[in-house]
Amino acid sequence: MRRYFSRKLLIYGLTFFVAVTVNWMIPRFMPGDPVASMVARANVNKPEAVEAMRAYYTGLFGLDQPLWQQYANFWGALLRGDFGVSIWLFPTPVSEVITRAVPYTLALIVPSVLLSWVVGNRFGAYAARRRLLDNTVLPVGYVLTAMPYMWLAVLLAWAFGVILGWFPVAGGYSFSMRPNWSVTFLLDLLHHWALPFLSLFLVALGGWAIGMRNMIIYELESDYSNYLAALGAPSRLIRRYAFRNAVLPQITGLALQLGVLVAGALVTEIVFAYPGLGSLILKAIQNKDFFLLQGTFLFIVLGVLIANFIIDIVYVVVDPRTRAGMAGAQA
């Protein structure tokens, strides 16, 4: 088990290192002069802001210093939690802008991912080898998983927001309200949260259902299932064993899908103008706010790594083979 975790941690450490290095390299090795183009593209009118930006960029890029020192400085700033200053919301630090947006993204992504995983697995397991259900779950699942996240979001917003008028289609809360802990505000928050959540939930649901259905069919054909059936075990019992075995690859699948799920959350937020990281990225791109963009990138990478690690721990809890040090889970 120690080997399993140390190997995982090594991979995550390396990944973080690579991500930071990529983040550092791209502005420096892309064609063109980043400082001049950034200052020019930022379209800031105030001369003191332009001056501050130029000084800041030159200081950060440290173009007079040797490359290795620039690289070391970049890590130093990073470890101090210094992501630079946002241009779009000058002079708010990037870390502050991001921490303000993160709760919204987490509130969307965590429930939708977990719920779609649980419900999708149930659906898929139930549909497997049941002709009528299989013939409906499978096509619906394929359509859902082939949908671009933002398209379903747009359709839901159009149907439930614009035509029926049941839900608001923009923002994290009503413009007339200030964030506080009152019941009316929390209800308003929930009202705005419902559609983006539903959209994320539905697209992810299809993939899990299909995956589970295929895994269950595979497990039901395996030797232990046939043996149980030969002994005369009720099919409910066999199915329960099959489900427990089929869940393991689905847990691994959850880890593999994290990147796609995050991407889906980002574009869904943009559709609903939901004040999370996705809308932040859109604003950063529109305002050429590269510090904000790069800070968000590192934040997302970090979040995905942490989520991966949590899934690894869950895997150890669920699969006794990893605990016994047998070849259960591959690194």
Report the half-sphere exposure of 117 (CA within 13 A, side-chain side): 20
Q: Which residue, 26 or 67, has its beta carbon nearer to another protein?
A: 26
With CB under 8 A as the contact rule, the residue among 118, 256, 310, 326 that binds another protein is: 256
Number of residues that bind another protein (CB under 8 A): 62
Inter-residue contact 213 to 138 (CB < 8 Å): yes
Q: Should residue 161 be labelled a site residue for another protein when binding is judged by CB under 8 A?
A: yes
117: DSSP letter: H
Q: Should residue 148 be labelled a site residue for another protein when binding is judged by CB under 8 A?
A: yes
In angstroms, the CA 211 to CA 145 distance is 11
Report the half-sphere exposure of 252 (CA within 13 A, side-chain side): 11
Q: Which residue, 76 or 259, has its beta carbon nearer to another protein?
A: 259
What residues pair up with 93 in beta bridges, in sequence order? 85
Q: Match 């020019």 to its residue by tokens.
A: 40
178: DSSP letter: -
State in angstroms the smallest separation of the CB of 159 from another protein.
10
Q: Should residue 12 be labelled a site residue for another protein when binding is judged by CB under 8 A?
A: yes
Q: Which residue, 10 or 118, has its beta carbon nearer to another protein?
A: 10
What is each CA distance from 120 to 116, 137, 241, 319, in whole angstroms? 5, 10, 18, 21
State in angstroms the smallest separation of the CB of 288 from another protein.
8
Q: Which residue, 161 or 185, has its beta carbon nearer to another protein?
A: 161
Q: Should residue 15 be labelled a site residue for another protein when binding is judged by CB under 8 A?
A: yes
With CB under 8 A as the contact rule, the residue among 127, 267, 280, 316 that binds another protein is: 267
What is each CA distance from 252 to 128, 172, 326, in whole angstroms? 20, 32, 17
Q: Which residue, 193 or 272, has its beta carbon nearer to another protein?
A: 272
In angstroms, the CA 95 to CA 83 distance is 6
State in angstroms the smallest separation of the CB of 15 from another protein.
5
Token duo for residue 134? 């299989």
State in angstroms the smallest separation of the CB of 252 from another protein.
11
With CB under 8 A as the contact rule, the residue among 102, 147, 198, 228 that binds another protein is: 147
Helices 34-41, 47-61: axis angle to 10 degrees equals: 150
Helices 2-29, 290-318: axis angle to 10 degrees equals: 170
Footprint of another protein on residues 195-224 (CB under 8 A)?
A: 221
**Cα dihedral 151, 157, 162, 168 in deg (nearest 10):** -150
Q: Which residue, 179 or 259, has its beta carbon nearer to another protein?
A: 259
272: DSSP letter: T
Q: Should residue 297 be labelled a site residue for another protein when binding is judged by CB under 8 A?
A: yes
Q: Should residue 5 be labelled a site residue for another protein when binding is judged by CB under 8 A?
A: no
Tell me how far the alpha carbon of residue 150 is from its chain's centroid: 14
Q: Should residue 26 be labelled a site residue for another protein when binding is judged by CB under 8 A?
A: yes
Q: Which residue, 62 or 161, has its beta carbon nearer to another protein?
A: 161
Q: Should residue 167 be labelled a site residue for another protein when binding is judged by CB under 8 A?
A: no
What is the Cα Rg of the chain in Å? 24
Q: Which residue, 51 or 221, has its beta carbon nearer to another protein?
A: 221
Q: Give the footprint of another protein on this chain (CB under 8 A).
A: 11-12, 14-15, 18-19, 22-23, 26-27, 30-32, 34, 37, 139, 142-143, 145-152, 154-155, 157-158, 161-162, 169, 221, 256, 258-260, 262-264, 266-267, 270-271, 278, 281-282, 284-286, 290, 293-294, 296-297, 300-301, 304-305, 308, 331
